[in-house]
Amino acid sequence: MPNQVANQDPNTKFTSDELSNNGSQMTQKATGAVALEDGTIVYGRGSGAAGTAVGELCFNTSITGYQEILTDPSYSDQIVMFTFPHIGNVGANEDDNEESSVNGAKAARGALFRAHPTPPANWRSKDHLGAWLRKKGIVGISGIDTRALTRRIREGGMQKVAIVHAPDGVIDKDALLAAARAWGGVEGSDLAKTVTTNDKFESSQNLWDIKDGYLDASTALYHVVVVDFGVKKNILRNLASVGARATIVPASTSAEDILALNPDGIVLSNGPGDPAATGEYASPMIKTLIESNKPILGICLGHQMLALALGAKTMKMTQGHHGANHPVKDLETGKVEIVSMNHGFTVDPDTLPEGVEQSHISLFDGTNSGLKVIGKPIISVQHHPEASPGPQDSFYLFQRFADLMK
Ligand SMILES: NC(=O)CC[C@H](N)C(=O)O
């Protein structure tokens, strides 16, 4: 019987220095390794691109949607460890990439899997995950005891890691560990400017449907300017689904240039890195947009940057929120929605100025998941109303934003 779990396959047994899966002897040379800044070295089997990648290790609990996750520019400078053991089963295609095709933004730097990706079985698949990872330049390592590493992150927080896929099996673990420790980390780093589009572009693509593929774009009722800090395509599609055509502009665009486009509303997008590191250029721009009284929707990084411009503070979380099954409560309606999450920083609700209130909270840990500005058409959420991947409970937020533009 074929066994898809790499380190139980008799030909591919790996053992690690510390987080050994079963302490068994290696029967095949490891072609991949992970070095954590705390000194842990774990061996596995390389897949995808060969080479070394350095980043912040976070775990994602989603069962599906690995391709959307790995191409979400918010994961720039991160290495995603999937807690679900079987990743790759539905292959990969061009439609499910989330990064904007215009800027070709770099998203996740690497991926860790429990089982080695197997040949795909899905009618939408065009590629094996391994081949797709290679094309994208993403390093993958399988055969990893993802449960043990996840527990380590839950206890000690997200760590700097270096991973290597060495097809010849030559792995210098000391050099790998040194690379992990030498890296500066995500805190304090402005990554939005590394993934934003260089040039303004337009989008009116609608949502994808299982029967009809991409739905026809409806007549545009609104014009929205999206400030691109690393925008996901499904945000643009959700805007189209509520009748908004979008003009996407670079992160460094001035408020004056944004307002000159005469938008009915403005979206501050998701994106990678530390929100506090964008303060220099983003806060003055967002402050002017707030004063303009135009409707604003902030999503994830955009939500955090809006909070900063309003005078609140953000802080780093221990393990962050990365998954597609997080319960969030809408404090206005009392309804609980199951949402997609991907963030490592959070808005400190104790620092909200007068006139700014929490609209949503996470029911996992009570952290802030949304804001509203009293007396202004401004809303923002920490979670991902566009899902992709994840449940579509929060699609209503795009309609709420459209209603503010009406
Ligand atoms: N998805 C996002 O926009 C992430 C926002 C921010 N980079 C964080 O990690 O908290």
Residue nearest to atom 4 of ligand 1 (CA): 343
Q: What distance in Å separates the CA atoms of residue 62 and residue 108, rounded to the nearest whole number? A: 15
- Provide the domain limits for residue 28: 6-182
Same domain, yes or no: 170 and 243: no
Query: Catalytic residue at 155?
Result: no
pLDDT over 50 (residue 14): no
Q: Classify 134 as helix, strand or coil.
A: helix
Q: What is the pLDDT of residues 59-115, one digit of tens each?
A: 999 999 999 999 999 999 999 999 999 999 999 999 999 997 555 567 999 999 999
Question: What is the enclosing helix (H) or strand (E) of 335?
Answer: none
Q: Which atom of ligand 1 is nearest to the CA of 229?
A: 3
Query: Catalytic residue at 384?
Result: yes
* Residues within a 6 A CB radius of ligand 1: 74, 270-273, 300-301, 342-345
User: Could you tell me the distance, in angstroms and rounded to a whole number, from the CA of residue 166 to the centre of ligand 1?
Assistant: 31
CB atoms within 10 A of CB 355: 12
How confident is the model at residue 11, as a pLDDT?
40
Residue nearest to atom 5 of ligand 1 (CA): 301
Q: What is the pLDDT of residues 312-348, one digit of tens each?
A: 999 999 999 999 999 999 999 999 999 999 999 999 9
How confident is the model at residue 102, as a pLDDT?
54
Average pLDDT score over residue span 352-364 = 98
Residue in this structure with the two tokens 């609104």, named with its chain if needed: 222
How confident is the model at residue 394, as a pLDDT?
95
Burial of 366 (0-12, 13-18, 19+ CB in 10 A): exposed
ipTM: 0.97
Same domain, yes or no: 257 and 320: yes
Confidence of residue 19 (pLDDT cuts 50, 70, 90): very low
Q: What distance in Å separates the CA atoms of residue 351 and residue 59, rounded to the nearest whole number? A: 28
Average pLDDT score over residue span 16-43 = 70
User: Could you tell me the distance, in angstroms and rounded to a whole number, from the CA of residue 351 to the centre of ligand 1?
Assistant: 19
Burial of 307 (0-12, 13-18, 19+ CB in 10 A): buried
What is the rounded average pLDDT for all residues in the chain? 91
Which residue out of 37, 56, 165, 300 is catalytically annotated? Answer: 300
How confident is the model at residue 219, as a pLDDT?
86
Q: What is the pLDDT of residues 229-254, one digit of tens each?
A: 999 999 999 999 999 999 999 999 99
- Contact of 50 with 105, CB cutoff 8 Å: no
How confident is the model at residue 233, as a pLDDT?
95
Q: Classify 314 as helix, strand or coil.
A: strand
Residue 187 is assigned to a structural domain of this protein: no
Q: What is the pLDDT of residues 110-149, one digit of tens each?
A: 999 999 998 999 999 999 999 999 999 999 999 999 999 9
pLDDT over 50 (residue 24): no
What is the Rg, in whole angstroms, of the alpha carbon atoms belonging to the chain? 21
- Contact of 133 with 107, CB cutoff 8 Å: no
- Contact of 305 with 283, CB cutoff 8 Å: yes
DSSP β-bridge partners for residue 345: 316
- Residue numbers in the known binding site for L-glutamine are 74, 271, 273, 301, 304, 342, 344-345
Same domain, yes or no: 268 and 388: yes
Final residue in a domain of this structure, among 129, 152, 182? 182
Determine the distance from the C-alpha atom of residue 314 to the mean position of all C-alpha atoms in its chain, rounded to a whole number: 18
Q: What distance in Å separates the CA atoms of residue 335 and residue 167, rounded to the nearest whole number? A: 50
Q: What is the pLDDT of residues 385-397, one digit of tens each?
A: 999 999 999 999 9
Final residue in a domain of this structure, among 140, 155, 182? 182
User: Could you tell me the distance, in angstroms and rounded to a whole number, from the CA of residue 311 to the centre of ligand 1?
Assistant: 19
Q: What is the pLDDT of residues 276-285, one digit of tens each?
A: 999 889 999 9
Same domain, yes or no: 382 and 357: yes
Same domain, yes or no: 218 and 252: yes
Same domain, yes or no: 96 and 42: yes
How confident is the model at residue 29, as a pLDDT?
80
Same domain, yes or no: 172 and 220: no
User: Could you tell me the distance, in angstroms and rounded to a whole number, from the CA of residue 275 to the centre of ligand 1?
Assistant: 8
Final residue in a domain of this structure, among 182, 205, 227? 182
pTM of the model: 0.93
For residue 143, what is the domain's CATH number?
Answer: 3.50.30.20
Which residue out of 321, 343, 360, 384 is catalytically annotated? Answer: 384
For residue 377, what is the domain's CATH number?
Answer: 3.40.50.880
How confident is the model at residue 280, as a pLDDT?
87
How confident is the model at residue 1, as a pLDDT?
31
- Contact of 308 with 371, CB cutoff 8 Å: no
Query: Catalytic residue at 386?
Result: yes
Same domain, yes or no: 66 and 159: yes
Pick from 24-33, 216-225, 290-299: least confident? 24-33
Same domain, yes or no: 226 and 370: yes
CA nearest 221: which of 240, 198, 207? 240
How confident is the model at residue 23, as a pLDDT?
39
Average pLDDT score over residue span 208-226 = 92
Take residue 378 and report the two structure tokens written for it.
């401004």
Average pLDDT score over residue span 192-209 = 94
Same domain, yes or no: 204 and 304: yes
Q: Provide the Cα torsion 85, 89, 92, 96; round to 10°.
A: -70
How confident is the model at residue 158, as a pLDDT?
93
